[in-house]
Amino acid sequence: MNYIVLDLEWNQCPYGKDRENEKLPFEIIEFGAVKMNEKKEIVDTFHQLVKPVVYRRIHFRTREVIAVSLEELEKEGILFPEAADAFFKWCGSDYRFCTWGTLDLNELQRNLDFYYMGGLIEGPVIYEDVQKLFAIAYETRKDRRSLEYAADFLHIEDNGEFHQALDDAVYTARILSMIPDEVIREDFSIDTYRTPKTRAEQILIRYRTYEKFISREFTTKEAAMEDREITAIRCFVCHKNAKRKVKWFSDNGRNHFAVGFCPDHGYIKSKVRLRKATSGKIFVIKTTKMISEGDAEKIRNKQDAIRERRHKKGK
């Protein structure tokens, strides 16, 4: 299997959000990619400018960060369907995408859908978020640093300009080469631009310190939170049903929390995030992990504080 380290540059509507194309808020204008073998050695590169069709002027924010001009895109670029077709042929048949952060794969799929080319990617996509892997390997899991910061941290020699697709892909590839294999193998990510559509397609993945569940789509938030698989609290260690200590509650309508207790392994925290799918329906990302008794008490106090605020507003 090869690693395809991908970096994309895109443009947005230069006339304001109210005039943007809802189906394509960000139009890809540049592909940059690096192909690495299983030893994380660079074996090939891909670069292609894309001629803009939806937005024929460069947004001022885009112009501030990218080096390519509209004239270059018009002269050297090709239409997106041609660029995407060439890119996927270059990728080959056995590969895994790697990106800096979570946005590139999302926008690639959105652009593919716009041109009725969605069949080139089957989702949900398993990929490597190198930004997250860098945080796990060198800082803390929750940190999210810039590509420039990570390159400087790892003393990677400057060999190109940041915010140019191929140069950024090369920097990302060199950072990936310095991530321990164990971290890459065990801390992969799942892109949910394409969500599970049936119960059989739902995803349950067990990581080293937590478990992630990605549900099928539901018509409403209420329907999602009535599903037994979503609301069940199971021990992360033995996976048996845990006794509920803190009932499900929400802090903002999108995130829900609950705490359970396993007599053999202790307290368990479950968190449900309600997300909107591209179809407009609702799906759920649920994470479960072991926590301390002190952390369980903090969650209980948070629930009490929310109840108190709501009670005061209701008076």
Q: Which CATH number is 11's domain given?
A: 3.30.420.10
Q: How many structural domains are present in the chain? A: 2
Q: What is the value of pTM for the model shown?
A: 0.89
The amino acid that residue 110 corresponds to is R
* Residue carrying the six token digits 């979503």: 230
- Are residues 218 and 267 located together in one domain of the fold? yes
Same-domain pairing of 181 and 204: no
- Give CB contacts under 8 A, 24+ apart, made by 300-307: 300/245, 300/246, 300/259, 302/251, 302/257, 303/246, 303/247, 303/249, 303/257, 306/249, 306/251, 307/249
Burial category of 280 from C-beta neighbours within 10 Å (exposed 0-12, middle 13-18, buried 19 and up): exposed
Q: 202 and 101 in one domain?
A: no
Q: What does DSSP say about strands 243-250 and 211-214: parallel, antiparallel, or unpaired? A: unpaired
Residues 46, 102 within the same domain: yes
Sequence-ordered list of residues with C-beta below 8 angstroms from that of 69, at least 6 positions apart, any chain:
58
**Domain shared by 173 and 204, yes or no:** no
> Which domain range does residue 245 map to?
196-314
Are residues 273 and 221 both part of a single domain? yes
112 sits in which H/E element: helix 103-114
In a structure prediction context, what are the per-residue pLDDT tens digits for the chain, which is 315 residues long?
A: 999 999 999 999 988 888 999 999 999 999 999 999 999 999 999 999 999 999 988 887 887 777 788 889 999 999 999 999 999 999 999 999 999 999 999 999 999 999 999 999 988 999 999 999 999 999 988 889 999 999 999 999 877 677 789 999 999 999 999 999 999 999 999 999 999 999 999 999 999 899 999 999 999 999 999 999 999 999 989 999 999 999 999 987 789 999 999 999 999 999 999 999 999 999 999 999 999 999 999 999 999 998 888 877 764
97/216 same-domain check: no
Same domain assignment for residues 75 and 173: yes
Q: Final residue of a domain: which of 189, 223, 254?
A: 189
